[in-house]
Amino acid sequence: MQAPHRQRRIINLKWFNRLLKWTYGRWLKWVYHIEVRGLEVVQNLKPPYVLVANHVTTRDPFWISLFMPQPVFWVGSDSNMRSSIMRWLLKLVGTIPKAKVIPDIETVNDIVQVIRKQQGIVGLFPEGAQTWNGGTLPLIPSTAKLLKLLKVPVLRVIIRGGYFALPRWTWKRRKGPVVLEFSLLFSPEELKNKPVDEIERTLTTGLSHTDFTDPVVKDRAYRSSRRAEHLELSLYLCPNCETFGSLRSLKTQLFCNTCGALWRVDPFYRLHTISAPYHSFASIGQWD
């Protein structure tokens, strides 16, 4: 007779988390000028619970974990674990591996294990990927079913200014604030009583966000002498001549190699047309 499968315990070392907060965390706070709102919600919430957030940069889990009273078991892409060193480090902080955008039974089992057996905090990015244009991507549909299954409080974090501070299309950070706003999105009772489609609608609305229209950050400067560089990775079509792959960037300017159109990007991510006689846009958000 085959022995029953023994469920593994996922490790998330508190001492290692504290070390990260006192070293890398202090650097992050200083460099990204992190501001926090609604932290009293976190302080009054006892595990187990699920944390959901919009996904704008690779720094997101580190920014959020700085202000969490206990270690968070983040669900992350299994592609980050291909390196043996990264796999070892991510296991130390309790990372739950998942294939991008694809439903994964083993991942769900690990999440249930952390919530029900270990009474922990699970961190999710329901979009399943980082945004290229600053706006929230469509959410993975199975997320609402998972929350319905778990029936524990759901803490929401909206990351404001994260895209402006470090867009996906560059590795050069900008000098400007990142604002983390914590709030309770669902109580266990709400998850128990609401149908899955209503949970999904509330989740989609609750995580919908773009820095370009956010009143908290849209009028705050994000300074860099190279703020336009690599923007063509996101805006790959020239609106002036409609040519693909012709855009190039240098320092604060974006230009087209085909028609000669030229724009300057200011610290508020507004586009100033220097030369584009046919058609142009006033912001990156409009262009995309």
Per residue in 255-287, pLDDT (tens digit) is: 999 999 999 999 999 999 999 877 778 778 777
Is the pLDDT at 238 greater than 70, yes or no? Answer: yes
Measured CA to CA, the distance from residue 109 to residue 128 in angstroms comes to: 18
CATH number of 14-207: 3.40.1130.10
Measured CA to CA, the distance from residue 123 to residue 50 in angstroms comes to: 6
Q: Cβ contacts of residue 47 below 8 Å, gap of 6+?
A: 70, 119, 120, 121
Is the pLDDT at 102 greater than 60, yes or no? Answer: no
The pLDDT, as a whole number, for residue 16 is 87
The pLDDT, as a whole number, for residue 280 is 74
Which is more confidently placed, 72 or 280?
72
The pLDDT, as a whole number, for residue 94 is 76
Is the pLDDT at 241 greater than 60, yes or no? Answer: yes
Q: Angle between the 142-150 and 196-207 helix axes, to the nearest 10 degrees?
A: 110
pLDDT digits (tens, 9 = 90+) for 156-202: 999 999 999 999 999 999 999 999 999 999 999 999 999 999 999 99
Q: How many CA atoms lie within 13 A of 121 on its CB side?
A: 20
Measured CA to CA, the distance from residue 34 to residue 180 in angstroms comes to: 7
pLDDT digits (tens, 9 = 90+) for 1-55: 444 445 667 888 888 889 989 999 999 999 999 999 999 999 999 999 999 999 9
CB atoms within 10 A of CB 227: 23
The pLDDT, as a whole number, for residue 14 is 87
**What is the pTM assigned to this prediction?**
0.90
Range from 84-93, 94-103, 113-122 that averages highest in pLDDT: 113-122
Task: Tell me: cis bond preceding 48? Omega within 30 of 0 counts.
Answer: yes
Give the position of tokens 């085909």.
258
Strand arrangement of the beta sheet that strand 253-256 belongs to: 247-250, 253-256, 262-265, 271-275
Length of the chain counted residue by residue: 288
pLDDT digits (tens, 9 = 90+) for 116-155: 999 999 999 999 889 998 999 999 989 999 999 999 999 9
Give the position of tokens 């773009």.
210
The pLDDT, as a whole number, for residue 286 is 77
Closest CA to 184 of 207, 205, 154: 154
Closest CA to 180 of 159, 203, 201: 159
- CATH 3.40.1130.10, the chain: domain bounds: 14-207
In percent, the amount of the chain with pLDDT more than 70 equals 90
The type of residue at 280 is S
Q: 55: which 2 tokens?
A: 């996904």
DSSP SS3 for 7? coil
